């Protein structure tokens, strides 16, 4: 099963990933951030995959090595379901969560689901890049986003 292959860091004996080996899965968003985010990924050669629904997420997670996910919790009111689905498929996958108007309950749920970072929308792309850098340094000892 794919979930067994996903770890917090490169597989044993594997070096930190090269840019063209890194794939990031993002959910479709309720605004144009995926297009803006591509400015962060394309110059580094990182693959950005955008899932439009839960079936897309499951298919991608089962067929590709994904290094992190960016989940828009507000997306079609199914964002938390997508995050929970990712946790079922890949329990150790580091995730970034995007949300507008975060409440204490939503932040508590993010902690419970072991979200790496929660970013308020609209997302400041400099902060997103900084959080991606922190995530990749911590989990993969990789400075691809620095």
Q: Is residue 53 very low, low, confident or very high in pLDDT (cuts 50, 70, 90)?
A: confident
CA quadruple 104, 108, 109, 114: dihedral positive or negative?
Answer: positive
- Choose between 3 and 32: higher pLDDT: 32
Q: Is the pLDDT of residue 47 over 60?
A: yes
Q: Is residue 52 very low, low, confident or very high in pLDDT (cuts 50, 70, 90)?
A: confident
Mean pLDDT of all residues in the chain?
82
What confidence tens digit (pLDDT) does each residue in 82-120 have? 888 899 989 999 999 999 888 999 899 999 999 999 999
For the segment 38-49, the average pLDDT, to the nearest whole number, is 87
The span from the CA of 124 to the CA of 20, in Å, is 25
The span from the CA of 111 to the CA of 133, in Å, is 20
Sequence ranges of the domains in the chain? 2-8+21-140
Q: What was the pLDDT predicted at 131?
A: 97
2-8+21-140 fold = Rossmann fold (3.40.50)
- What are the φ and ψ backbone dihedral angles of 50, each rounded to 5 degrees? -115, 120
Q: Is residue 76 very low, low, confident or very high in pLDDT (cuts 50, 70, 90)?
A: low
Q: What was the pLDDT predicted at 8?
A: 40
> What burial class does residue 16 get, using C-beta atoms within 10 Å of its C-beta: 0-12 exposed, 13-18 middle, 19+ buried?
middle
Task: Tell me the sheet residues that pair with 25.
Answer: 49, 69
What confidence tens digit (pLDDT) does each residue in 3-28 have? 333 334 444 445 566 656 899 998 87
Is-contact 60 82, C-beta < 8 A?
no
Residue 104 structure tokens: 């204490």
Residue 46 structure tokens: 């990182």
**SS3 label, residue 40:** helix
């Amino acid at each position: 099963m794919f979930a067994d292959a996903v770890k917090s860091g490169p597989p044993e004996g594997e070096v930190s990933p090269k840019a063209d080996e890194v794939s990031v899965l993002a959910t479709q968003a309720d605004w144009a951030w995926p297009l803006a985010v591509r400015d962060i990924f394309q110059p580094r050669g990182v693959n950005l995959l955008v899932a439009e629904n839960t079936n897309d997420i499951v298919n991608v997670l089962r067929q590709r090595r994904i290094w992190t996910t960016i989940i828009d919790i507000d997306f079609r009111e199914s964002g938390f379901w997508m995050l929970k689905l990712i946790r079922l498929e890949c329990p150790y996958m580091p995730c970034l969560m995007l949300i507008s108007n975060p409440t204490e309950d939503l932040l508590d749920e993010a902690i419970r689901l072991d979200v790496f970072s929660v970013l308020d929308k609209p997302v400041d792309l400099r902060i997103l890049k900084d959080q991606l850098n922190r995530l990749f340094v911590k989990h993969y000892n990789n400075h691809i986003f620095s």
